[in-house]
Structure 1
Amino acid sequence: MDNIVYDMAAKYNLVETESHRENDLCIRSNGEEVPIEHSRRVLDVLNSSTNDVEKMKVYRKSLNDFYNEFYQDALQNHEFDGIDPEICHQIFDFFQKYHTVYNAVDSLTEVSTSGLLEFTDHQDEYLINWKTRGFKTILDLMLKRLPEQNAVPIPIEDITFFNKRVTKIDSLANTHPAVRVLCSDDSSYTADHVIITVSLGVLKESYRTLFHPKLPSLKRNAIEGLYIGTIDKMVLEFDKPFWPNGWHGFGLLWKSEDMNELRGSDKSWLESVCSFFVPEYQPNLLVGWIFGKDARTMETLPEQEVVHGLLYVLRKFLVMFRVPEAKSFTRSTWYANPNFRGSYTSRSMVSDSLNAKAADLAIPLVDSSGNPVVQFAGEATHPEYYSTVQGAIGSGWREAERIIELYKDQF
């Protein structure tokens, strides 16, 4: 598939692919199911908006403007004739929320339309499914710890210092070793090369004090101009499914009066819950997506308050089912976690205005001989596969190859 993750895992039959598209089933906040032929028709038209690559290349406004213009043109061209206009608008609102989640932003007004074309994931129409495993399997795979690999495991724990928060990285001019790393417990380490793999969110928060001397302007521009946002998953486990076999989840369509009531309540953060889905191979789970500032709010709320809010939504929308209490709950907290400060990166209007590039973020800091001293990896540094695990892995391999190339004639 030309996907690092899939290619590594498929040889051991650890993964499969499934279609990647919005939920066809849309349910309104009064419990009414939208006829599947209507929701599918509207979503298919809206999804075709990005087929006009040439228009996207020269479009200088936000993705929000791009989608709104396309939607208005579709209305004027009678592409939704025979479908209730209010339902059309609600599906369009869901479509926008879905793509806000997909791009990990607070709002589509922030997203660069032309910048989307930098992303070249050839598997965009598919999702990689780890079957009964989780995505953490990729770490076991890379460390050769799976029985299927029949290999000697890599003892990463033996060569890793844990619970060490780096507070400063000194590039030492014309010295050997060339770099000194200082930690919050006052320990320090010297090295010939340092590869930094922290998220863009951590760099944004700490780059002004983390590096000495200060980063060059091109690097600072990339850190400030590239975008990282917040999306989270909220996972409810039930004793057994309260939904029928073959039911995969739904997209939320809010009626205006219900949305106004929600916004005036203490549950207003639920506005940014986009959809719920049932994961393959996990029939008792129901997973909700949430984005932006409301995701950051959700991360700070007591767990029981989040569960209460999610059950409120499910019971409001799913009037055709009896929604029981959840057996257990877990959630991601990508922004609240100081080691991430966000989910993944994208291209924003600010990225365009500053001409910020992932390739600029990937440029290493070098010594007087031009040798790499401080190197940068992570999904944010990959110019094509940013926001993906395959981009993160590929960037790490890129920096490892940079060092291998430097020393290849010495061994």
Structure 2
Amino acid sequence: MDPMGPVVLIIGAGISGLAAAQKLYKHGFKNLRILEATGRSGGRIRSQKYAKGLVEIGAQWIHGPSPSNPVFQLSTQYDLLSPEALSEENQLVELEGHPMFSVIYSSSGKQISTEIGENVVEMFSSWFQKSREFTKGGCNPEDSVGSFLRQEISCSYSNWDKDSLELKMALLNCLFKLECCISGTHSMDCVALGPYGEYKILPGLDCTFPRGYESLVSHIKASFPSDMVLLNKPVKTIHWKGSFHGSDSHMYPVQVECENGETFIADHVIITVPLGFLKEKATDLLSPPLPSYKLQAIQNLGFGTNNKILLEFEKPFWEPECYAIQLIWEGESPLTEPKTNLQQDWVKKIPGFVVLQPPEQLGHVLCAFIAGKESEFMESLSEDEILSTMTSLLRKCTGTPNLPPPISILRTRWHSEPYTCGSYSYVAVGSSGRDIDMLAQPLPEERECAKPLQVLFAGEATHRNFYSTTHGALLSGWREAERLIDQYPALHSVFSKSKL
């Protein structure tokens, strides 16, 4: 066997691809290359200068920063987090419910009592927890999280105070919009109820990176040679089950053909591209084509868009202790289906704003989240149109007609990104966790076990319990690296001895 190990190609330099490369390199695999379609590494982790500091275009938080989260562990090892994030107290926080908003504004320009808000969030959180209890059955395969939540509301609202009924419905409708952002879906009616509880929520108070999420990417990349990552190499076709001549006179089963005609041969290829890209390209990406069960799994699973609109203000109109602003539209209810005019009403899909911290480093910046079809429509608008709409929205909801407009705007466009085609995955109605496992299954299939593995799959959409997260993506990269390490025990043995 080549002392450098087998030739491994990794498609995609997001965190799953980088994590796979890091682990393989550490275990003696030196014939490694990462082919990245774009001009940068990091994938859906992207930090950018804005206002007075750095903001996140993609992944925002470490969700559940505690000892069981590998992203938290790596970030701690690399000394990338604040002392507060590392405190034991923060690591023990159990986020069972939903985040509270410190200020709630209505579409008539009134500020709503936080007491009513807390009451509604408490109710919604209890129903939300119940929606996670169907993993062992008890519901129809076509049931959605949205339909379940509406059923719970319908069984409860007759006991509510009539004077606050309409307001509570509007607040609940806003929480549905927030949940769409969290799940990366257009509607909670798209999210399957049965498998919903398989997603694991880790303990810990969500935290950010003082020097940007990309600081983690930089540290992972620094652990292996920089020339292993080849940028601007979009892949056209992955030919497998073949016999391709190498320059070393060996025959290789895999050849990767790039859009520019360049080819690379390999023993193994790890595909780490987003599910959104697979939905667009999977039928033509591999030759021979992917098995029908894999194509079906790709089609079944959900992949939606969650975008951000960042607004910088010269002076804050919010109080220093305000950390989040909720917006509700009077007259809306989760029990009625609104007739939406995207041109006029896209902005109503925004559940609110997060106040980015700390202002002394960033400036005065609000970050709105928006999901679904409205989010995709927003991508088609100019920044001037968005800024004008957001100024009108804030003037209307705060009841301040002369509120100064933002001094700058930055919005994300994940649906328009050709190699991403959205934000992250969810288990859609009609799919299940089994589809995630199908997507993660390497090729050739087990029944062809006489043949060594040629095509492996990683990425957040391939992790059954942590899909949609950076820690899911990281773990999936490690998982596929381990799969290859297990196939080459002799290499690992030689490498271990050489380190002694």
Q: Per the alignment, do residues 293 and 95 of structure 1 end up closer, same or farther by CA in structure 2, a change over 3 Å counting? A: same
2:181 matched to 1:181? no
2:129 matched to 1:68? no
List aligned pairs for 1:123-134, cutoff 5 A.
123=203, 126-130=205-209, 132-134=210-212
CA contact (8 A) 1:38 1:83 kept: no
Of all paired residues, the percent bearing the same amino acid is 29
Summarize deviations over 1:313-363 as a string: whole Å, max 9, x none.
1111112595322222212111100110111111111214xx752111111
Q: Per the alignment, do residues 262 and 349 of structure 1 end up closer, same or farther by CA in structure 2, a change over 3 Å counting? A: closer
Cross-structure match for 1:147:
none
Partners of 2:292 and 2:108 lie apart in 1 by 53
Q: Per the alignment, do residues 228 and 261 of structure 1 end up closer, same or farther by CA in structure 2, a change over 3 Å counting? A: closer
CA contact (8 A) 2:323 2:354 kept: yes
Cross-structure match for 1:273:
350
CA contact (8 A) 2:277 2:418 kept: yes
Partners of 2:407 and 2:382 lie apart in 1 by 17
Q: Across the two proteins, how many residue pairs are aligned to each other? A: 394
Quote how far apart the aligned CAs of 1:82 are: 7.2
Quote how far apart the aligned CAs of 1:408 are: 2.1
Cross-structure match for 1:14:
81
Partners of 1:92 and 1:361 lie apart in 2 by 35
Partners of 1:87 and 1:295 lie apart in 2 by 25
Cross-structure match for 2:466:
385
> Which of 365, 380, 389 pairs up with 1:285?
365
Partners of 1:261 and 1:394 lie apart in 2 by 40
Secondary structure of the residue aligned to 1:349 is coil
Partners of 1:32 and 1:240 lie apart in 2 by 21
Quote how far apart the aligned CAs of 1:261 are: 12
Cross-structure match for 1:38:
116
Cross-structure match for 1:361:
439
TM-score by length of 2: 0.74
> Which of 312, 318, 329 pairs up with 1:243?
318
CA contact (8 A) 2:166 2:331 kept: no
Secondary structure of the residue aligned to 1:101 is helix
Structure 1 alignment gaps of length 5 or more? 145-152
Secondary structure of the residue aligned to 2:308 is strand
> Which of 194, 199, 202 pairs up with 1:122?
202
Quote how far apart the aligned CAs of 1:370 are: 3.5
CA contact (8 A) 2:252 2:265 kept: yes
Partners of 2:120 and 2:424 lie apart in 1 by 29
Summarize deviations over 1:263-319 as a string: whole Å, max 9, x none.
568432112112111022245110111110111111121111111111111111112
Cross-structure match for 1:347:
427
> Which of 143, 166, 172 pairs up with 2:235?
166
CA contact (8 A) 2:184 2:304 kept: yes
Summarize deviations over 1:22-80 as a string: whole Å, max 9, x none.
4253211011111111110111111111333545642221111111111122223x2x4
Mean CA deviation greater in 288-297 or 359-368: 359-368
Q: Per the alignment, do residues 358 and 55 of structure 1 end up closer, same or farther by CA in structure 2, a change over 3 Å counting? A: closer
Structure 2 alignment gaps of length 5 or more? 1-65, 245-250, 495-500
2:381 matched to 1:301? yes
CA contact (8 A) 1:262 1:271 kept: no
Secondary structure of the residue aligned to 1:372 is coil
> Which of 122, 127, 134 pairs up with 1:49?
127
Quote how far apart the aligned CAs of 1:174 are: 5.6
Summarize deviations over 1:169-194 as a string: whole Å, max 9, x none.
00033663111111111111111111
